Chain A
Amino acid sequence: KQEVTQIPAALSVPEGENLVLNCSFTDSAIYNLQWFRQDPGKGLTSLLLIQSSQREQTSGRLNASLDKSSGRSTLYIAASQPGDSATYLCAASGAGSYQLTFGKGTKLSVIP
């Protein structure tokens, strides 16, 4: 059974700082890994999807990497802004499965 862990649970940084959010998973035979953003009281917004054959994906100031052998993914946010404040969730699926298992998220606060 896939298990996903995100550390730290909360992170506070000053505006403009580059930061890395961490995600680890137990089953390296994943189908894909997806990063989401969730604002308070809202649904989840897909940020990046990394398929098992890929090592990284980029979208604007966001870069996500995947290392299956070590069971790790990172989400890099460049030049953080107050608008980046939200909870970031990582989710991984097992081999041949579309079912995503979620971590509990990292709550990011970017201080102006």
Chain B
Amino acid sequence: DAEITQSPRHKITETGRQVTLACHQTWNHNNMFWYRQDLGHGLRLIHYSYGVQDTNKGEVSDGYSVSRSNTEDLPLTLESAASSQTSVYFCASSVSTGELFFGEGSRLTVL
């Protein structure tokens, strides 16, 4: 079955370190998204991509970057991790109808 996978599922890091969260989908979807989920804020869009070499900033993009070198992958990089970036991160992809499908999430703790 086609799917969307995230890795690592859990990560603990220290303030100032660079962290990359991987997202891989096998549906061949053009649209991919990164969200973070926090108590009291719900899900907020970080970055998104509508195809190879296309990347766009979302609502809370400061401190994050993405790159899209192929259809299947959209890695999310935290350039210098901060405690405020402790969160659960979700990757998602969508078809042309806009229906969104999510990965299982990556829980990141920044100490």
Chain A bound to chain B = yes
Q: For chain B, what secondary structure do more than half of its interface residues adopt (helix, strand, loop), or is it mixed?
A: strand
| Distance (whole angstroms) from the CB of B107 to the closest CB of chain A | 9
Q: Which of A67-95 contact B (CB under 8 A)?
A: 89, 91, 93
Instruction: Across the interface, name the chain B residue whose C-beta is closest to A4.
Output: B42
Could you say which of A11-19, A21-29, A43-51, A58-66 contacts chain B?
A43-51
**In the bound complex, do residue A32 and residue B98 qualify as a contact, i.e. CB atoms below 8 Å apart?**
yes
Q: Say whether B90 contacts A44, CB under 8 Å.
A: yes
Determine how close the nearest CB of chain A comes to the CB of B25; give it in whole angstroms: 13
Query: In the complex, which residues of chain B have a beta carbon less than 8 angstroms from the beta carbon of A99?
Result: 33, 45, 48, 58
Distance A32 CA – B97 CA, assembled complex (angstroms): 8
Nearest Cβ on chain B to A26's Cβ, whole angstroms: 15
**Total contacts A to B, CB within 8 angstroms?**
57
Number of interface residues of B (CB under 8 A): 24
With a cutoff of 8 Å between Cβ atoms, the chain B residues found around residue A51 in the complex are 97-98
Q: Beyond A98-B31, A99-B48, is A46–B101 a contact (Cβ under 8 Å)?
A: yes
Contact A42 B104, beta carbon cutoff 8 Å? yes
User: Which residue of the partner chain A has the closest CB to B50?
Assistant: A98
For A31, give the chain B residue with the smallest CB separation.
Answer: B98
> For the complex, what is the distance from the CA of A15 to the CA of B58, rounded to whole Å?
40
What 6 pairs across the A-B complex have the smallest Cβ distances? A104-B42, A102-B43, A44-B102, A43-B102, A43-B104, A49-B99
What are 5 inter-chain pairs, A to B, with CB distance below 8 A? A42-B105, A49-B99, A98-B50, A102-B44, A104-B40
